Amino acid sequence: MKINKKVEEAINKQVNAEFYSAYLYLGMSASCTGMNLKGMANWLYVQAQEEMTHAMKFYRFVLERGGGSKFPAIEGVRADWKTPLEMFTAAYEHEQKVTAMINNIVDIALAERDHATASMLNWFVDEQVEEEANSSEIADKLKLINDSKEGLFMLDKDLSARVFVDSTQPAGGAQG
């Protein structure tokens, strides 16, 4: 069954939101590089890569269901971050907004009796639990660290270990 227009529109908006998320995290990553926090820069860079796979998962779904592509312009992001805490707090707030957007698409899909979309969205509902937990955990650690240079050094070192895995693919493989 061809995708419903309202659902298609909501998903196309979400493609935009996911690319905006990638932009937001890339900007934060660049700011961390500027602060010489290479581990945080790495974590945020990987996060940006993940966001692009989210956008592509939505994109592929719309096309598979016979929808077209009408994408609005991607908004610019701020570049004047002062501290990592400010960034990760904003990241957590942003993820909460993304969760609300995804829940809204679930509501639209169910109202339109589009169960295929509702089923696809389950993946994103689960993913958002992790997305919120990841950013809030780092923000909480930064609050604990407060002004400790050693603490910041250790956390930055931990975050350098993150590697990109495309979790939108069954076995974490390449884009299909």
Binding residues for ligand FEO (CB under 6 A): 18, 21, 51, 54, 95, 98, 131
In 3-state terms the chain splits into helix, strand, coil percentages (rounded to 5) of: 70, 0, 30
* Shortest Å distance, C-beta 133 to ligand FEO: 11
State how far the alpha carbon of 78 is from the alpha carbons of 26, 75, 82, 131, 142, in Å.
Answer: 11, 10, 11, 21, 21
* Shortest Å distance, C-beta 54 to ligand FEO: 4
- CA separation for the pair 88, 142 (Å, rounded): 9
Nearer to ligand FEO, 98 or 142 (CB): 98
- CA separation for the pair 48, 142 (Å, rounded): 20
Nearer to ligand FEO, 15 or 37 (CB): 15
| DSSP state letter for 89 | H
Nearer to ligand FEO, 5 or 93 (CB): 93
* Shortest Å distance, C-beta 165 to ligand FEO: 14
Nearest residue to 105 (alpha-carbon basis) of 1, 3, 14, 5: 14
3-state secondary structure 99-161: HHHHHHHHHHHHHCCCHHHHHHHHHHHHHHHHHHHHHHHHHHHHHHHCCCHHHHHHHHHHHCC
Nearer to ligand FEO, 95 or 156 (CB): 95
* Shortest Å distance, C-beta 43 to ligand FEO: 13
Nearer to ligand FEO, 109 or 152 (CB): 109
* Shortest Å distance, C-beta 6 to ligand FEO: 21
